[in-house]
């Protein structure tokens, strides 16, 4: 299906030199978390990039990027490959002509990309998590450019799935609100976003939990109850499935940071 071969964060990155340009045999993403600079591919003009921009690098396409002279930027990045991403490219989800996407707020997207690199994930879990986050990133960037008819539908579907995160949700009701059968809705949502409706909703609930854990003041049991999980243990299992860490481990990481 695919694999993530390299990943991590860099402070004061010097980027990749333009002479000669680098050519990868894999895909990669670089998300700028602070600073600004430039990005260029062979045969194309240099363009400005800044914190909150996602650089998508494609196999066999020469590229270079980095901060301005005397400047700096921080980043989180990963290198990945596999037939699933080749299929995404063939179907127009990964588009070489659109190598830079803007994703904000930066803190939220940093946490999403960092979850792909969580040490506790198995190789399979890591590539599945990458697909989820990358699909979310591509969909979010598409919305910011102005939605097409299909992305407008997906935005409506996401909004319905995000409503009342602490209450029980029936996919049949969401599908009916969108004027289609439950099975048609499920398939169309997967095509549009790369993840299932249930996985999307669980990811959004987990992001709320991350914010509450970061803010402090609520116990794991209280968060579980507010977000509609059956109990604290069910919440912990679902949270770890998305982030690679238990709520207690995430809270400890926040306290250290």
Per-residue pLDDT tens, the chain, 257 aa: give them. Answer: 689 999 999 999 988 887 788 888 899 999 999 999 999 988 788 999 999 999 999 988 889 999 988 888 999 999 999 888 887 876 677 888 789 999 999 999 999 999 999 999 888 889 889 998 998 898 877 555 544 455 678 788 888 998 888 888 899 999 999 999 999 999 888 777 667 888 888 878 887 887 788 778 899 999 999 999 999 999 999 888 777 678 888 777 656 54
Give me the DSSP letters along 86-125: HHHHHTTSS-TT--EEE--SHHHHHHHHHHHT-TT--HHH
Omega within 30 of 0 (cis) for the link into 35: no
What pLDDT does 150 receive?
A: 56
Residue 140 belongs to what H/E stretch?
A: helix 123-144
What pLDDT does 139 receive?
A: 81
Q: How far apart are CA 85 and CA 88, in angstroms?
A: 5
Domains along the sequence of the chain with CATH: 3-121 (2.60.120.280), 149-256 (1.10.10.60)
What pLDDT does 148 receive?
A: 47
What pLDDT does 68 receive?
A: 87
What pLDDT does 9 receive?
A: 95
96, 151, 246 from 120: Cα distances, Å: 32, 33, 10
Q: pTM for this one?
A: 0.58
Q: How far apart are CA 239 and CA 241, in angstroms?
A: 5
Greatest CA span in the chain, whole angstroms?
57
């Amino acid at each position: 299906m695919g694999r993530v071969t390299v990943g991590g964060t860099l402070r004061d990155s010097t980027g990749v030199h333009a002479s000669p340009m680098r050519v990868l045999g894999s895909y990669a993403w670089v998300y700028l978390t602070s600073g600004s600079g430039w990005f260029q591919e062979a045969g194309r003009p240099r363009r400005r990039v800044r914190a909150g921009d996602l650089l998508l690098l494609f196999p066999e396409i020469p590229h270079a990027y980095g901060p301005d002279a005397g400047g700096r930027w921080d980043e989180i990045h990963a290198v990945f490959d596999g037939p699933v991403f080749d299929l995404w490219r063939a179907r127009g989800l990964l588009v070489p002509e659109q190598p830079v996407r803007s994703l904000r707020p930066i803190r939220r997207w940093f946490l999403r990309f960092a979850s792909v690199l969580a040490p506790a994930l198995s190789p399979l879990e890591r590539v599945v998590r990458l697909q989820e986050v990358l699909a979310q990133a591509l969909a979010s960037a598409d919305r910011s450019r102005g939605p097409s008819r299909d992305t407008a539908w997906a935005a409506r579907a996401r909004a319905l799935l995000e409503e009342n995160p602490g209450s029980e949700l029936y996919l049949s009701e969401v599908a009916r609100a969108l004027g289609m059968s439950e099975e048609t809705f499920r398939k169309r949502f997967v095509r549009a976003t790369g993840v299932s409706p249930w996985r999307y909703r669980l990811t959004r609930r987990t992001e709320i939990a991350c914010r509450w854990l970061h803010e402090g003041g609520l116990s794991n049991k209280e968060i579980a109850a507010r977000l509609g999980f059956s109990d604290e243990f069910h919440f912990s299992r679902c949270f770890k499935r998305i982030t690679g860490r238990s709520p207690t481990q995430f809270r400890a990481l926040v306290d250290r940071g």
